[in-house]
Structure 1
Amino acid sequence: MSESAVKAAPAADVSVKAQNSQPVKAAGDAKDAKQTEGAAKDAKPAEGGDAPKKLSPAELKKQKAAEKQARRAQQKAAGPALKEQGSQQKDAQKQQKGSKQAPKDDKSRPIPVRRRPSQSSAPVTQTLKKEPKADAKQVGLFFGHLYSQPRKHSMAGASKDVHPAILALGLQYSSYTICGSTARMVAMLLAFKSLIASYQTPMGTSLSRHLIQLLGIQIEYLRDCRPYSITMGNAIRWLKDIIVKTDPSTPEIDAKRDLLDEIDMFIRERVTAADKLIRELAVTKILPGDVILTYASSSIVEQTLLEAHNAGISFSVIVVDSKPLFEGKTLARKLANAGLKVRYFLITGASHAIKDASKVFLGAHAMMSNGRLYSRVGTALVSMLANAQSLPVIVLCESIKFTEKVALDSIVGNEVAPAEELLSESERQNLLPLKNLLPKSHPASKEENDGEGSKPPVASDVLKWIDASKNLHHLQVLYDVTPAEYIDMVITEYGSLPPSSVPVVHRLRSEGEKQLFQ
């Protein structure tokens, strides 16, 4: 081997090592290796047909960096134009899609708001100013729940299914033409008789089911005219039980006749016969020379006093009365016309009238299960005055007025009379001169200062003055509760008994009726 060949051998080894190290160093970046291979292939041959010159790794690195910088410069120079072109393409695609889906999207698109030419296109945010509400007038601190339903005074708004007899009865209730728990119950049952007599069962229904529904409509109308009494509630439950237990196979004519007979028997036994037994027993409590004090008016008390007078017993009567109904006036007039010696007092003079009395006879609206008496407002005052004078207080009450309810006060359950009945016509006339004493902030005073109150005031204006006053309200309850300790005796058709025995009699009576129905 020649000396030149030996010297070239190390150089060949170096070139081989360089070529072998090239892929090793470029293995970390596959992209750069491919670009390097492409650059080597595309390299032009040297002049004269010589082979391309091989680049060292450092030179390849510098070449790649230069190429990257050139590409970045081209992209920066052509960037805005490419963006505009891309956005135009996107808009064109959206328009094409919108034109295709136009029929479907028209319904889902919001309706554009039409504006006047003077209005700007900017969205308007409406800010609603809440006006301060006027303070509602306090109906009553303790009795506000009793004003929840206004009382009907006309047939307006009544259902077409309400019977004419019930319509007339409701107006008599609201105007106090028929007053007293027993009288209201009897009048209601007689009106129900008219309803049943003219009733015809519709096709496809039974008398027991349809008549109960029709009866509910009549009861609702009567309740709107005036809240029904305890006796009315007891009679309604009894009548519903009779109707429900009517045999469906019974012909309609026979079923109606049986119902009418049952109502007549109920009135005869629970009212007429019961009142007779109570009168006979109560007359024995009246002795010659007695002064019987009674409050307001009770039909059973009136019958007892008249029967004692017809029996020849010499006694006198003191009638204590109060507004709004002044029922005692009618009682005093009847007793005086019958020949009895009668004295009439208002509730304000009850403390003086009680000193001349020897016994107290009272009627009842209801007897509660805890032995308390629920009667016309003022009864509790008279009973307490009699108890302070050690006078016997005797309550005359039919068992139909007994109830399982318990009353602890006169607030939870009561009835409110219309406010305009609190002041009579003469009392309103007497209050007219007091208009000058109204405060300056009162609406009536403001109208007078503005020159609008030139007309002379009339009696009806007094109620308007009261309604316009924020801190003044009419309140007139009709009943109160008398504790059992102020009652000495309760006379019923079952005899004389203490107030504590009322729930026992009521339970026995209810059980007897259930056994009778079974």
Structure 2
Amino acid sequence: MADSVDSALKSPPATTSAPAQPPSVVDNTPSQKTQNLPIRESKSAKIPAPSDSQSGKNKDGPNPAAAGSDAAGAAGAEKPLTPAELKKKAKAEKAARRVREKLAKESGGAGAAGGSASGPSQSRPPATPKKDAAGGGASQKGQKAAQPRRGSAPSGQAAGDEPTKKEDKSVAVFGHLYGQPRRTTIAGAGKEVHSAVLALGLQLRDYVVCGSSARCVATLLAFKRVIESYTTPLGTSLSRHLTTHLSHQITYLSTCRPLSISQGNAIRALKLAIASTDPSTPELSAKATLCEFIDNFIREKITVADQVIAGSAAQKVQDGDVIVTFAGSSIVKQTLLTAHKQGKRFRVSIIDSRPLFEGKNLARALANAGLDVQYSLVHGISHAIKDATKVFLGAHAMTSNGRLYSRVGTALVAMSAKERAGGVEVPVIVCCETVKFTDRVALDSIVVNEIADADELVSAQPPQQVTGLVDPVTPAKPDNKQGGKGASSAPKPDPAASSLNSTPSPLHHWKDNPNLQLLNIMYDVTPAEYVDMVVTEMGSLPPSAVPIVHRMSTNL
């Protein structure tokens, strides 16, 4: 107790013996609360003051009282920072921290990062105390930012090695169609996405569910399961929240593969039905109503519509006709099977193209039903069109200007039928449901289209048999070179088949070729003048009547 009293009595003389501070420094603290502008001027005017006291201290020797007063003055000088200076200092510290983290990642660890940071700090001249006090973070930022620009390369990479820039393999004309690549896995999908939608997305990506009508039906059935397992959160209503919940499912499906026109029309109709639901309706009753709406939509717009279209289009088939079709349209298959059940005798010529080869399934189904089928690829179109009497085509969509938007190659078939050698035009009939009608206008296949993975054109698969006929078995030849006990009676593998399976595709390393680009578009546009008739569930009509029927079908 006595020691504390003695130290308290001794402290005032030490304070009085210190050199007096300028009066402006004494009045600095109270003036901060009233005026800001004089403070900044006084600070700038009093910067040399610490240097005078420091020089006096160096001449007279160490003075504890002077050191204490200088520390107090420095603390008082550092304390009143303006908001702009504080913001600048925080920004500099944040930038320096980011640079340190980046260097730590590049060096491969914290120890390597610390070692690489110590070298530049030793070679750089020491900074002045003024700069350290006012903007130490900024100086650290400059040091860290300058470090990657030095000649030393990061660990794991040679000094002369530079990462090679990959060449852009996108076709410039279709550059606007190259967006986000298709989703390959369900990783990264939101927790709101239903399991049925997750499975459907992968099926759409792998063409397990292919075709406009099949994709529309599968999407509606998946949304039906989503609605059945849906529970309205507290504080909201089904008519408001269910639309948002479905938006997560739609976004996931669109990342797997772009939505078709029929999918968009079906989703639009479902959202309209959800929005028209009365908020006072019980949840179970509202969900049952929506599920019933989905079932009715599938039955009226697709199932019954296909039956009506098949019956109407089958009347156009006559005995002895040669029907030419392209790819594998489900409604065209149903039409040809209906005409065959009616007892009409005709022949079918299927034109197909890679990489999907959808015509194989159509040829197999028609051949198993007993029809006379001829199958050829698109390069043999002139031979297939030579004896044709009618052309039946499916549709992905019908635009409002009467143009047919379908699988790529459809326009070539329609134009070949209209401009066949000999001057005899072949009627082109399109079978399309009204759910595939759209109010969009398509002038060509460049502005609006879908681009698939270019690697699908590279895969070379051995030729497979389309029909169910038995393959001829090659008799095994005995090995005459080896005799006696070592003679082998096993058949030799076919050298042609082995070479076909072992030889890689010429386009296998197409990405390494700087002068090669692959384009795999999905659809093309057929002009309206090459289409004679569009058969719908509302009747047969010319292409110019598509927008009228579309308005009628959407207003029902």
What CA deviation, in whole Å up to 9, does each residue of 1:238-270 have, x standing for no partner? Answer: 000000111000000100010011111111111
Correspondences of 1:324-403 after superposition (within 5 Å)? 324-389=355-420, 390-403=425-438
2:180 pairs with 1:149: yes
Query: In structure 2, do the counterparts of structure 1 residues 266 and 415 end up closer, same or farther at CA, with 3 Å as the change threshold?
Result: same
Distance 1:371 1:92 in 2: 96
Match of 1:472 in 2: 516
Distance 2:339 2:436 in 1: 24
Match of 1:451 in 2: none
Query: In structure 2, do the counterparts of structure 1 residues 299 and 121 end up closer, same or farther at CA, with 3 Å as the change threshold?
Result: same
**2:171·2:517 contact (CA, 8 Å) conserved in 1?**
yes
**2:429·2:533 contact (CA, 8 Å) conserved in 1?**
yes
Match of 2:456 among 415, 418, 421: 421
How many residues matched? 398
Match of 1:170 among 180, 201, 222: 201
How much does 1:322 deviate?
0.4
Structure 2 residue ranges without an equivalent (≥5): 1-50, 58-65, 97-116, 128-141, 152-161, 464-500
What CA deviation, in whole Å up to 9, does each residue of 1:326-369 have, x standing for no partner? Answer: 01011011101100001011000001110111000000000001
Distance 2:121 2:340 in 1: 95
**1:394·1:489 contact (CA, 8 Å) conserved in 2?**
yes
Residue identity matched to 2:414? S
Query: In structure 2, do the counterparts of structure 1 residues 334 and 427 end up closer, same or farther at CA, with 3 Å as the change threshold?
Result: closer
> 2:364 is paired with a residue of what secondary structure?
helix
Distance 2:319 2:296 in 1: 37
Match of 1:121 among 113, 118, 125: 125
Match of 2:314 among 283, 287, 292: 283
Match of 2:555 in 1: 511
Residue identity matched to 2:510? I
How much does 1:145 deviate?
2.4
2:511 pairs with 1:496: no
Query: In structure 2, do the counterparts of structure 1 residues 307 and 106 end up closer, same or farther at CA, with 3 Å as the change threshold?
Result: same
Query: In structure 2, do the counterparts of structure 1 residues 136 and 358 end up closer, same or farther at CA, with 3 Å as the change threshold?
Result: same
**1:242·1:259 contact (CA, 8 Å) conserved in 2?**
yes
What is the RMSD computed on CA atoms of the aligned residues?
Answer: 3.0
Distance 2:535 2:210 in 1: 22
Deviates more, 1:503-512 or 1:118-127: 118-127
Distance 2:540 2:194 in 1: 41
Distance 1:402 1:222 in 2: 21
> 1:205 is paired with a residue of what secondary structure?
coil
**2:349·2:384 contact (CA, 8 Å) conserved in 1?**
yes
Match of 2:263 among 226, 232, 238: 232
Match of 2:283 in 1: 252
Correspondences of 1:47-86 after superposition (within 5 Å)? none
**2:401·2:441 contact (CA, 8 Å) conserved in 1?**
yes
Deviates more, 1:260-269 or 1:462-471: 462-471
2:145 pairs with 1:101: no
Residue identity matched to 2:322? V
Query: In structure 2, do the counterparts of structure 1 residues 237 and 104 end up closer, same or farther at CA, with 3 Å as the change threshold?
Result: farther
Distance 1:376 1:256 in 2: 36
What CA deviation, in whole Å up to 9, does each residue of 1:359-391 have, x standing for no partner? Answer: 000000000011000000000000000011310
Match of 2:41 in 1: none
Distance 1:464 1:388 in 2: 37
2:318 pairs with 1:314: no
Residue identity matched to 2:240? R
Correspondences of 1:253-272 after superposition (within 5 Å)? 253-272=284-303
2:253 pairs with 1:207: no
**1:279·1:303 contact (CA, 8 Å) conserved in 2?**
yes
**1:383·1:487 contact (CA, 8 Å) conserved in 2?**
yes
Over alpha carbons, which structure has the higher Rg? 1
TM-score (norm 1): 0.71
Q: Report percent identity of matched pairs.
A: 54
Distance 1:335 1:225 in 2: 31
**2:392·2:430 contact (CA, 8 Å) conserved in 1?**
yes
Residue identity matched to 1:488? D
Query: In structure 2, do the counterparts of structure 1 residues 132 and 188 end up closer, same or farther at CA, with 3 Å as the change threshold?
Result: closer
**2:458·2:505 contact (CA, 8 Å) conserved in 1?**
no
> 1:314 is paired with a residue of what secondary structure?
coil
Residue identity matched to 2:306? D
How much does 1:120 deviate?
5.2
What CA deviation, in whole Å up to 9, does each residue of 1:171-206 have, x standing for no partner? Answer: 110110110000100011011111111111111111
How much does 1:461 deviate?
8.4
